[in-house]
């Protein structure tokens, strides 16, 4: 590791000390992708509906009243990959920045505005250079 | 050997300071700028005219990263009660005062003035320190709506740091951090913690280049609080304080994403996502846009 890389790594590490803040509650909850995508209807589902379907999870609340709920999910393929991730898997994926995500956005009135899934990004040649 | 050891003993401290610098704007900046007479505002949120011109010079030098883009500086609110209407901006030296027009979107440009340079003038809005923050705005014209270009944003980071728009409270810490940033090429790091601000509250950011597309992790949004939650009181040290839902980081140093990469911003109040419209745009070709000027 050259000097620049070492410095960059240190910068990223200390970013945790320097980061900004907002109310964030709970740890991420792992869900199976099909359950996440099918259980929620934008414009209809309430917070209670989402908790009933997927459970409570990490939440970011903004002054505007909007909330973002963050779930980590597994691949949508049937079989073992459709199962919730273990805590260890979640921790490793989150640390690497490659954790698949399922996000739910709530309006200030507490209804789901929209959702999005983020698959784990594919490793690309030359990435990070 | 001693010099080597000392260098590495100081490094972690300097790096921690640097991170805070990149996040924060001065609450009450104390500068060594020349004395100026401000009758209407005490403790204004000022910047160095000389450094801002240096930023403009760097923009010209690196214009190839954003060949058709223009540079403007931008004022953003930092407090919930900051009044962004009717801001009066001036370049103020010992014996010279130059008014600077501000556009309705709170952007402005600076003209070069040799006398103001010689007098090491300050750029001073009629707002108190800590009430606003500053950024560069480098935009390629004609991009699709809600879309930025990665090369423009890479250059925003470079010029923003060169112009010293992002800084921290104590002068000593600021100087140390500037030194570290200069040594490390901060904006070339794979994931620099340089805060970009979108026009409206964000829900998703997607990079698209050629046939490749990638949604950024939520950890790259909202100043990274999903990854590093920090107490609400510490938020006051971040210049994202009232813009938290509009902040995002980008993998600026990841050269597998070319400068022509499109950065699509999906806002909380957007309707359906239209990824197809992005895929139809192979490069930053001029098109009608409500975001681009």
pLDDT digits (tens, 9 = 90+) for B34-69: 443 334 455 677 899 999 999 999 999 999 999 999
Question: With 60 as the cut, is the pLDDT of residue B291 above it?
Answer: no
For CA atoms B237, B254, B207, A118, the dihedral sign is: negative
Predicted local distance difference test score (pLDDT) of residue A85:
57
DSSP β-ladder status, B196-197 and B97-100? unpaired
- Identify the closest residue of chain A to B12 by CA–CA distance: A10
Question: With 60 as the cut, is the pLDDT of residue B233 above it?
Answer: yes
Q: What is the Cα–Cα distance from B59 to A62, expressed in whole angstroms?
A: 35
Q: What is the Cα–Cα distance from B69 to B234, expressed in whole angstroms?
A: 35
Predicted local distance difference test score (pLDDT) of residue B181:
59
Question: With 50 as the cut, is the pLDDT of residue B240 above it?
Answer: yes
Name the range with the highest mean pLDDT among A18-27, B26-35, B86-95: B86-95
**pLDDT band at B6; cut points 50, 70, 90:** very low
Which residues in chain B touch residue A14, judged by CB atoms under 8 angstroms apart? 12, 15-16, 18-19
Q: How far is CA A1 from the centre of its chain?
A: 30
**Distance from the A121 Cα atom to the nearest Cα atom in chain B, whole angstroms:** 6
The residue written with tokens 């450094």 in the block is: B51
Question: With 80 as the cut, is the pLDDT of residue B120 above it?
Answer: yes
Question: Rounded mean pLDDT of chain B?
Answer: 79
User: In Å, what is the CA distance from A104 to each residue of A64, A110, B194?
Assistant: 16, 11, 26
Predicted local distance difference test score (pLDDT) of residue A107:
97
- Identify the closest residue of chain B to A62 by CA–CA distance: B245
The answer to whether A68 touches B266, Cβ cutoff 8 Å, is: no
B18 CB near a chain A CB, below 8 Å? yes
Looking at residue A80, what DSSP letter applies?
G
Residues 92-121 of B with CB under 8 A from A: none
Q: What is the Cα–Cα distance from A43 to A37, expressed in whole angstroms?
A: 14
Q: Which residues of chain A have pLDDT under 50?
A: 1-21, 76-82
What tens digit of pLDDT does each residue of B259-290 get? 999 999 999 998 744 333 333 333 333 333 33
Which alpha helices (DSSP H) does A20-108 contain, by range?
Answer: 33-38, 47-54, 87-96
What DSSP element (H or E) covers A11?
A: helix A3-18
Question: With 70 as the cut, is the pLDDT of residue B13 above it?
Answer: no
**Distance from the B24 Cα atom to the nearest Cα atom in chain A, whole angstroms:** 9
Q: Phi, psi (5° rounding) for residue B52?
A: -65, -35
**Is B66 strand, coil or helix?**
coil
Asked whether the beta carbons of residue B219 and residue A94 sit closer than 8 angstroms, the reply is yes
B240 CB near a chain A CB, below 8 Å? yes
Predicted local distance difference test score (pLDDT) of residue B136:
97
Q: What is the Cα–Cα distance from B243 to B100, expressed in whole angstroms?
A: 25
Predicted local distance difference test score (pLDDT) of residue A13:
35
Predicted local distance difference test score (pLDDT) of residue B96:
95
The answer to whether A20 touches B225, Cβ cutoff 8 Å, is: yes
Pick B16's closest partner by Cβ from A17, A24, A128: A17
Number of alpha carbons in the 13 Å side-chain half-sphere of residue B221: 24
**pLDDT band at B169; cut points 50, 70, 90:** very low
Looking at residue B224, what DSSP letter applies?
G
Q: What is the Cα–Cα distance from B209 to B287, expressed in whole angstroms?
A: 17
Q: What is the Cα–Cα distance from B40 to B125, expressed in whole angstroms?
A: 10
Nearest partner of B259 among B154, B136, B139, B185, judged by Cα: B154
- The ipTM (two decimal places) reads 0.74
Q: What is the Cα–Cα distance from A108 to A127, expressed in whole angstroms?
A: 38
Exposure string for A70-84, b = 16+ CB within 10 A, e = fewer: bbbbbbeeeeeeeeb
Predicted local distance difference test score (pLDDT) of residue A86:
62
**pLDDT band at B173; cut points 50, 70, 90:** low
Which residues in chain B touch residue A101, judged by CB atoms under 8 angstroms apart? 217-218
**Distance from the B231 Cα atom to the nearest Cα atom in chain A, whole angstroms:** 6
**pLDDT band at B217; cut points 50, 70, 90:** very high
């Amino acid at each position: 590791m050259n000097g620049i890389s070492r410095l960059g790594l240190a910068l990223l590490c200390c970013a945790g000390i320097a980061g900004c803040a907002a109310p964030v509650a709970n740890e991420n909850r792992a869900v199976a992708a099909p359950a996440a995508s099918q259980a929620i209807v934008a414009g209809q589902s309430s917070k209670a509906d989402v908790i009933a379907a997927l459970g409570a999870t990490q939440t970011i609340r903004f002054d505007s009243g909007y909330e973002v709920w963050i779930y980590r999910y597994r691949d949508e393929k049937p079989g073992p990959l459709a199962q919730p991730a273990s805590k260890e898997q979640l921790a490793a994926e989150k640390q690497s920045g490659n954790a698949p995500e399922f996000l739910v956005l709530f309006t200030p009135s507490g209804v789901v505005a929209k959702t999005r899934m983020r698959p784990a990004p594919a490793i690309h040649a030359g990435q990070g250079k | 050997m001693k010099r080597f050891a000392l260098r590495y003993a100081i490094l972690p401290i300097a790096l921690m300071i640097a991170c805070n610098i990149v996040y924060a704007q001065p609450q009450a900046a104390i500068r060594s700028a020349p004395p100026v007479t401000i009758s209407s505002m005490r403790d204004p949120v000022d910047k160095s005219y000389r450094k801002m011109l240096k930023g403009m010079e760097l923009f010209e030098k690196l214009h190839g990263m954003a060949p058709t883009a223009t540079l403007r500086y931008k004022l953003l609110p930092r407090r919930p009660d900051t009044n962004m209407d009717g801001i009066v901006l001036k370049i103020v030296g010992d014996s010279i005062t130059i008014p600077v027009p501000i556009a309705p979107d709170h952007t402005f440009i600076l003209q070069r003035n040799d006398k103001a340079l010689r007098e090491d003038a300050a750029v001073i809005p009629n707002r108190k320190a800590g009430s606003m923050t500053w950024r560069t705005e480098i935009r390629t014209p004609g991009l699709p709506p809600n879309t930025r270009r990665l090369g423009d944003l890479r250059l925003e980071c470079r010029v923003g740091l060169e112009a010293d728009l992002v800084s921290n409270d104590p002068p000593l810490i600021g100087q140390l951090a500037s030194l570290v940033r200069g040594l490390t090429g901060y904006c070339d790091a794979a994931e620099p913690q340089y805060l970009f601000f979108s026009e409206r509250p964000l829900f998703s950011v997607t990079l698209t280049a050629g046939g490749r597309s990638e949604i950024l992790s939520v950890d790259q949004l909202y100043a990274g609080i999903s990854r590093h939650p920090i107490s609400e009181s510490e938020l006051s040290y971040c210049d994202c304080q009232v813009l938290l839902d509009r902040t995002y980081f980008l993998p600026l140093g990841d050269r597998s994403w070319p400068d022509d990469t499109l950065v699509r911003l999906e806002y909380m109040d957007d309707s359906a996502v239209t990824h197809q419209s992005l895929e139809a745009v192979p490069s930053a070709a001029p098109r009608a846009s409500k975001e681009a000027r």
